[in-house]
Amino acid sequence: MPFPSRENETTEAIKTLRAGDRFCEMLTFWVYILSVSPIEIVTLEVNGPARIPDEGEICRYSPPSEFDRRFSYGSIPGHWIALVDRDNDIGGWLERKQRQDAIPS
């Protein structure tokens, strides 16, 4: 996908986040959107290579504008993550990670 098109699609996706969206940065850092509500955005963030979702970290952005702030360049328009695709099957990932993280190692 050409750079301007990818940038536009990423900007639009961030404005209309939905569970199952997947973003990456240089194919080494991955962000999966697990849930979106008016109160918070919950993500699984993974530094690769890794087993997904087992080796990811659950992050919460509240208010949801914090998600945009976290991944924006800040001094110039745009984001440092890029949309990879949408509608990934992330069913049960949040619950699985919560159970996994509750088990003492």
Q: Which domain holds residue 52?
A: 3-102
Amino acid at 36: V
Percent of the chain with pLDDT over 70: 94
Tens digits of per-residue pLDDT, 87-103?
A: 999 999 999 998 888 87
Our count of domains for the chain comes to: 1
* Phi/psi at 72 (5° precision): -80, 150
In 1-105, the DSSP E strands lie at 22-25, 29-36, 41-47, 57-61, 82-85
Q: In the prediction, which pLDDT does 1 show?
A: 53
| Secondary structure (3-state) at 89 | coil
Compute the mean pLDDT over every residue in the chain, rounded to the nearest whole number: 92
